[in-house]
Amino acid sequence: MATLFVTAYHAILIRWLSIAAAVFALDRLTKHWAVEAMQPYQPVPVAPFLNLTLVYNPGAAFSLLSDAGGWQRWFFAGFSALVALLLLVWLYRLPRDQVWVPIAFSLILGGALGNLWDRLAIGFVVDFIDVYYGQWHWPAFNVADAAISTGAIMLLWGALRPVPKQ
């Protein structure tokens, strides 16, 4: 009979995957709420700079290629799956003492899986967060997009900050 044991390294890996799972779950819950509670393209004011507006996005970030005819669904789904797989491999290979990079990867992984789910299940991504200033509106986004952006900013910050001298 095979025995299952968790090494200290696997416990750390589980921590990073738990962050990705939490992002995925929060993304799924908020998208489900948005679809059930809101009407498409009808803004719900929340603050002087924030509306909740249900939008269906068949494209990529900022609605890139949203009117491309349908092929983009499978392209972006494949790209998201590839990114998720690469992030899993990188998470597994990262040194145990790193914290910043695995958190960033975990945020990106959870977000990529959240948007991948939408593309595979319904053919488009559900967006609902509408940030604006005056008449200028940032493209609508969701929790997955926010996690991906936060993770990317963390990676950039980690790459650009000075390395402390030993």
The whole-number pLDDT of residue 24 equals 98
pLDDT: which is higher, 105 or 64: 105
pLDDT: which is higher, 54 or 8: 54
The whole-number pLDDT of residue 93 equals 83
Q: Provide CB contacts within 8 A for 72, sequence distance 6+.
A: 58, 59, 60, 65, 66
Handedness of CA 122, 125, 130, 136 (dihedral sign): negative
The whole-number pLDDT of residue 79 equals 84
Q: Provide CB contacts within 8 A for 58, sequence distance 6+.
A: 66, 68, 70, 72, 73, 123, 124, 125
Phi/psi at 131 (5° precision): -100, 135
* E strands in the chain: 44-47, 50-57, 125-133, 136-137
Residue reference for tokens 């990073």: 16
What does the block give as tokens for 94? Answer: 């990262």
Minimum mean pLDDT among 31-35, 130-134, 144-148, 159-163: which range? Answer: 159-163
Confidence of residue 140 (pLDDT cuts 50, 70, 90): very high
| Mean pLDDT of the 67-94 span | 80
What does pTM read for this prediction?
0.85
Rounded distance between C-alpha atoms, residue 150 and residue 140, angstroms: 16
Rounded distance between C-alpha atoms, residue 80 and residue 120, angstroms: 11
User: Which amino acids are annotated catalytic?
Assistant: 127, 145
